[in-house]
Amino acid sequence: MTSGGDAAGMNPAIKAAVDHARHLSMRPYVVYDGLEGLIDGKIEEPSRNLTNELIYRGGTLLRSSRSKRFFQYEYRKQAYEHLKAKGIEKLIIMGGDGSFRALNDFYNDFEVPFAGIPATIDNDIASTDYCLGVDTAQNVILNCIDSIRDTAQSHHRAFVVETMGRDCGYLAMTTALCSSADICIVPEIPYDLDSIYRRLSPQIEEGIGYIIAVVAEGTRVAQYLTRWLNEKTGMDTRLTVLGHVQRGGSPTARDRLMATRFATRAVEALHKGNNNQIMVYRDGSYATTSLNAVAGQKYSVNPEIIDLCRELSC
């Protein structure tokens, strides 16, 4: 099942999990609508039509939800009854740490083991360097910034581009670096507008063509920065809030491969009886870790990336 915000890579992971489970002579089912669907018994055996469609499609064909009901025992009990009726003994969930925690509560109630696959464009899950959907979102953002650069250059304008990421600046930092942005403002780095102005003013005096600023949504300063840039530089300035376009798109090769690796490992963990493990990718290797290493822990962006972006924040 898929849970929380959708992320590219969820579909290829569903396909890999279904195929690998069958390879190991297990009988896979899919749950539609995430935890809400589990409560309502939207559980089916996957058809060939579904699995054939999965590999290149963005989002999640199983659909997703952010369930409040699942945090109440009576609804978890209802979900358990649906599983029992179908003889389902183990679960794989893709999503963020809130989804993993929900299944841990479920395990404490009914002892249904689970495996977790990190999937969120925010890349903000502790203990893993990678979550499904990040590479695709980065590429969507880069395509947008490249297009914005064309029009910024044509009109001699400054552009502020706001990326998603909730309270994490990973998407903004990595795409600012990859798009050669002039400014990057993220929650992880204190910014200094005076110093940014001092850095850019020689270029502005030389008649710099345009300015690109990438701002993480978690800072909530995109509008303020847009006004500031206009007043300070005198350049016509526009704000582009990229929004949900960042969550869509066909999964990149990296997301398809990561999805396949995470999903087959999740099936294997459950097959071997390693319960309640979260799949992670750390320092270039795949591993599994306990829920405690993930839930309630703060994710920190790689300090080298932060240091590189510091130069764009002051």
Nearer to ligand F6P, 234 or 243 (CB): 243
Among 42, 69, 101, 166, binds ligand F6P (CB under 6 A): 166
Q: How far is the CB of 122 from ligand F6P (least distance, A)?
A: 5
Are the C-beta atoms of residues 119 and 132 closer than 8 Å to each other?
A: yes
Report d(CA 63, CA 11) in Å as an integer.
10
Q: Rule CB under 6 A: is residue 118 a binding residue for ligand F6P?
A: no
Q: Rule CB under 6 A: is residue 122 a binding residue for ligand F6P?
A: yes
Catalytic residue list contains 122 = yes
Query: Dihedral angle at the C-alpha atoms of 199, 201, 207, 210, nearest 10 degrees?
Result: 60
Alpha helices in the chain (DSSP H): 10-23, 34-40, 48-54, 73-86, 97-110, 134-155, 170-178, 193-205, 222-233, 253-271, 303-313
Are the C-beta atoms of residues 164 and 242 closer than 8 Å to each other?
A: yes
Are the C-beta atoms of residues 184 and 176 closer than 8 Å to each other?
A: yes
Among 9, 165, 169, 249, binds ligand F6P (CB under 6 A): 165
Q: How many residues bind ligand F6P (CB under 6 A)?
A: 9
Among 1, 2, 3, 5, binds ligand F6P (CB under 6 A): 5
* Coil vs helix vs strand at 288: strand
Among 247, 255, 259, 299, binds ligand F6P (CB under 6 A): 247
**132-155: burial string, b at 16+ Cβ within 10 Å, e else:** bbbbbbbbbbeebbeebbeebeee
Q: How far is the CB of 264 from ligand F6P (least distance, A)?
A: 25
Q: How far is the CB of 69 from ligand F6P (least distance, A)?
A: 16
Nearer to ligand F6P, 186 or 270 (CB): 186
The amino acid at residue 181 is A
Binding track, positions 16-55, relative to ligand F6P; x by CB under 6 A: ----------------------------------------
Specify burial of residue 40 (Cβ count, 10 A radius: 0-12, 13-18, 19+). middle
Among 93, 102, 164, 258, binds ligand F6P (CB under 6 A): 164
Q: Rule CB under 6 A: is residue 280 a binding residue for ligand F6P?
A: no
**DSSP secondary structure code for residue 299 in this structure:** P
Report d(CA 291, CA 294) in Å as an integer.
5
Contact range with ligand F6P by CB under 6 A, out of 13-21, 55-63, 158-166, 206-214: 158-166
Q: Which residue in the list 19, 97, 122, 124 is annotated as catalytic?
A: 122
Contact range with ligand F6P by CB under 6 A, out of 17-25, 106-114, 163-171, 296-304: 163-171
Q: How far is the CB of 66 from ligand F6P (least distance, A)?
A: 7
Contact range with ligand F6P by CB under 6 A, out of 69-77, 87-95, 114-122, 251-259: 114-122
Residue that is written with structure tokens 């910014």 in the block: 191
Q: Work out whether strand 30-31 and strand 43-44 pair parallel, antiparallel, or are unpaired.
A: antiparallel
Q: Could you list the residues that contact ligand F6P (CB under 6 A)?
A: 5, 120-122, 164-166, 217, 247
Which positions are annotated as active-site residues?
A: 122
